[in-house]
Structure 1
């Protein structure tokens, strides 16, 4: 498996994996890995911030819907890695690319 694909897969494994992948990509700056680092960092940050806000609803329906939405976005992103194409996360992917363009 190519190194860029492995680093991109690592970035999808929790926020810690994303940070590890960012550090691993600092030396060679592969555009594919940088793309997915920006996507997953934005996705994980939004997940944790949104999860904090969803917690105030104290509703298992709201929580379950939020988890399913995150899982769908994660699957879309991960399928892009496996198919070797740069797939933006629907709705917010372009924003993540702009916000974290220095990664």
Structure 2
């Protein structure tokens, strides 16, 4: 598999559940690519945000509607990231993608 193909595969797999992210992380650590690393950071950040939203929802159920809306937005960002991975684009997800790249710069 060429480096370009490996980077695309890593990028796509990183958005398919947390298990996919772990697989993508391992694949990318064997043969690092910029595309793979970029999408590993994006997808990891989105998973962390989803996890934090779940924790807040369990602690503050009165905010369920707001957290549900935020969760839907994060899911839409995951779909956008997945589409970007398929298209081999390193475009960050809207609003938070650049921040995710800087916060998780050591990952990937």
Query: By the TM > 0.5 criterion, same fold?
Result: yes
- The 5-angstrom pairing of residues 22-101 of structure 1 reads 22-58=25-61, 60-101=64-105
Q: CA RMSD in A?
A: 1.8
For residue 34 of structure 1, report the CA deviation from its aligned partner.
0.2
User: Structure 1 stretches of 5 or more lacking a match?
Assistant: none
SS of residue matched to 1:9: helix
Q: Contact (CA 8 Å) 2:7, 2:33: kept in 1 or not? A: yes
Provide TM-score, normalisation by structure 2: 0.82
Residues 25-72 of structure 1, C-alpha deviation per residue, up to 9 Å, x if partnerless?
012110000000000011101110122113334255334313321221
Provide TM-score, normalisation by structure 1: 0.86
SS of residue matched to 1:88: coil
Runs of 4+ residues over 3 Å off in structure 1: none
**Number of equivalences:** 103
User: Structure 2 stretches of 5 or more lacking a match?
Assistant: none
Provide the C-alpha distance between the structure 2 equivalents of 1:23 and 1:73, rounded to a whole number of angstroms: 23
